[in-house]
Amino acid sequence: MSRKMLIDGELNQSNEQESHYDFDLFVIGAGSGGVRASRFSANYGAKVGICELPFHPISSEVVGGVGGTCVLRGCVPKKILVYGASFGGDIEDARNYGWEINDKVDFNWKKLLQKKTDEITRLNGIYKRLLSNAGVKLFEGEGKVVGPNEVEVIQLDGTKLSFSAKHILIATGNRAQRPNIPGQELAITSDEALSLEDMPKRAVILGGGYIAVEFASIWRGMGATVDLVFRKELPLRGFDDEMRAVVARNLEGRGINLHPRTTLTQLIKTEDGIKAFTDHGEELSADVVLFATGRMPYTKRLNLESAGVELDSTGAIKVDEYSRTNIPSIWAVGDVTNRMNLTPVALMEGTCFAKTVFGGQPCKPDYRDVPCAVFSIPPLSVVGLSEEQAIEQAQNDILVFTSSFNPMKNTISGRQEKTVMKLVVDAETDRVLGASMCGPDAPEIIQGIAVALKCGATKAQFDSTVGIHPSAAEEFVTMRSLTRRVTAGTKPKTNL
């Protein structure tokens, strides 16, 4: 099959002299980005090989699995647990809707855990079939770079396989990091949290990012006592400050104990669990301590120095706008590059890679207006600029529209938990720069709003759109009263 390939920056037809390579493309890492790049490259006619560590729910240096972090020990199993935890609040709310529920409602953690494991095992099989159906050759083992056009795969039995490839793609993702404090070995990371044998009755979580907030919601929803310890005044640094405050209020409203401007200094094993000490002298008792203090690009066992691939100070692979490293034959996509660490972004990068290298369509990933969500209970979802980012980047005045209301479901259930929505608008162009929502179904709603922002929608176009009634979503097209106007040149308030 004839195919176009990017060679030394120019698109040329493949020819006979390239046939001495074992593969046109060899990919190390079969997560979302690696699988997407492999399949799409093969669809363009490339001969593709890919390697991945053997499957296990908890990753390590010797186990992983086709599907990667998101599918096997991240977004997908986490969302399953969020669904499971949400039923706790729904059962409470159901009483005022006429449902007569016994006082004692049991939750079977082991049953949910088994269902979760069954699902990720199924997905692991699906991803393997996707590769096979695309004609991609899968090797199970640890991949390493030997040179600019050579890789080595160490199989389970220790056998080493060597392959040459015209192009090498690194897509090994990232790994959870642990703070270096006394007793840190007593804590777990999100990998283990998704596979705990027993449901904790008391949990201490260190961290203020989305993983920390989501697990706080999960365990609290399942009835555990949860202490959330984080360094800043509010959780979710980097998100819109107003929405961060809403999330914090909701977490407290659901019974989670917040410890802002705090960190852990030591963990000690006790007869009935773990004692966690804070820098404010507090002692927190727990069955489980979760470290959710960030993730680092996973490059340390790839032998990249052998090919001269440049890394940044965090260990991330440096790439250009096309995901190419300083070595022309070696590329990288996904979290290992530490650009925008989201699964759909890794998919976008993998797609652009395949188009650029094998499709004859040079393509740069577009990181503007990428929506995302924090699956807390209730969830937060955003797209575009936060108010702080808009003010910082503004050439014109910024208009802020907000709405805070009690969702219709809560008027009957009696739950005191408001939904908050926000639009950030350029006063001169009327273009909507950012949208945020914290409340039920926020991710489903913001995904649609993201299309509008990608198309450059104006506030007038939002206002002229007819809403769906009764729904929370209609509030986005009925926010006509200005909340505040921020003058261009105003310094944004510091990130709390």
Active site residues: 469
Please report the DSSP string for 232-282 in residue order.
Answer: SSSSSTTS-HHHHHHHHHHHHHTT-EEETT--EEEEEEETTEEEEEETTS-
Check the annotation: does 467 bind a ligand.
no
The residue behind tokens 């409470």 is 92
The CB-based long-range contact list for 245-253 (8 Å cut-off, 24+ gap) reads 246/380, 246/418, 246/420, 246/438, 247/213, 247/374, 247/376, 247/380, 247/438, 250/376, 250/377, 250/378, 250/417, 250/438, 251/213, 251/216, 251/217, 251/376, 253/416, 253/417
Check the annotation: does 187 bind a ligand.
no
For residue 220, the tally of other CB atoms under 10 A from its CB is: 23
Q: Within its chain, how far is the Cα of 372 from the centroid?
A: 8
Note whether 145 and 304 are within 8 A (CB): yes
How many residues in the chain?
496
Rounded to the nearest 10 degrees, what angle do helices 109-133 and 75-94 cross at?
Answer: 140
Check the annotation: does 425 bind a ligand.
no
User: Angle at CA 218, nearest 5°, toward 214 and 219?
Assistant: 120
Assigned token pair, 468: 């769906």
For residue 483, the tally of other CB atoms under 10 A from its CB is: 14
CB-side neighbour CA atoms (13 Å) of 277: 12
Check the annotation: does 221 bind a ligand.
no
Tell me the C-alpha distance between 363 and 48, whole Å. Answer: 20
Tell me the C-alpha distance between 14 and 19, whole Å. Answer: 9
Check the annotation: does 350 bind a ligand.
no
Check the annotation: does 391 bind a ligand.
no
Residue 295 pairs with which residues in a beta bridge?
A: 176
Q: Phi, psi (5° rounding) for residue 126?
A: -65, -45
Cβ neighbors of 53 (< 8 A, separation 6 or more) are 59, 62, 63, 64, 65, 140, 141, 142
Check the annotation: does 212 bind a ligand.
yes
Check the annotation: does 211 bind a ligand.
yes
Check the annotation: does 79 bind a ligand.
yes
Check the annotation: does 208 bind a ligand.
yes
Name the DSSP class of 328.
Answer: T
Q: Which residues are annotated as a binding site for FAD?
A: 79, 143, 335
Q: Which residues are annotated as a binding site?
A: 79, 143, 207-214, 294, 335
Q: Which residues are annotated as a binding site for NAD(+)?
A: 207-214, 294
